[in-house]
Amino acid sequence: MSSWQVQDAKAWFSEFLNATLKQGPQVVTRRGVETAVLVPIEEWNRLQRAARASLKALLLSPDARSENLIPERRKLRRRGVVELGGSTVSQRRARSCL
C-alpha cells in the first residue's frame, strides 16, 4: 500500500486515482499521520458485503426477534428461620427496630 501526502494527492489526483486502480488501496497522510485510504470501488463493495450488520439494523429489520428479550425472574428461595437462644432472628430484628 503506497502512501501519499495530502497536498500531493490533491495536486496529482489523476495519478493518485490511477495508482489506486492499478496497485490497490492508497493511504493519505497529513503531517505524517495516516488519515484516509482511497480504495477501488470493487474492494469497497466487497468490504461492505462482508461487514456485519449493526445492532440498529438488526433491531429494525423485519426479521427482528423481539419476544423473550427479558428473561423470567427466578423464584425467590427463602431461608429457614434460625433459632438463637430462644428467639428467632426475625424476632430480634423486629425488637431492634423498636
Domains in the chain with CATH codes: 2-53 (3.40.1620.10)
pLDDT at 51: 81
What's the distance, Cα to Cα, between the start and end of the chain in Å? 78
pLDDT at 75: 79
Per-residue pLDDT tens digits for 19-77: 999 999 999 999 999 999 999 999 999 988 888 777 777 778 777 666 666 777 777 77
Closest C-alpha among 18, 58, 9, 61 to residue 40: 18
Of the given ranges (6-10, 11-15, 76-80), which has the lowest mean pLDDT? 76-80
Q: Please report the pLDDT score of residue 98 as a whole number.
A: 57
